[in-house]
Amino acid sequence: MNWTDSLDIAIALNDAYPKINPCIVNFVDLRQMVIALNEFDDDVNKSGEKILEVIQMNWIEERE
């Protein structure tokens, strides 16, 4: 999984962290959570605020 796979990442985050409310996760923590996913295999330095925002929005939608 790469940073651009925002929907796949959101699904994986939803599975890995079912008790965490994605609305209150800050970007620093979100970045660490994404990097910690077993399926994640991209350059950890390629993330940015826009990418993290898209991932978080997809995670929120996935949770609903």
- Domains detected in the chain: 6-63 (1.10.10.600)
What's the pLDDT at 20?
A: 97
**33-53, pLDDT tens digit by residue?**
999 999 999 999 999 999 999
Q: 16-35 as b/e, with b when 16 or more CB fall inside 10 Å?
A: eeeebebeebeeeebbebbe
Q: Report the sign of the C-alpha dihedral through residues 1, 51, 13, 43, in that order.
A: positive
Considering the chain, what percentage of its residues have pLDDT values greater than 90?
A: 98
What's the pLDDT at 4?
A: 95
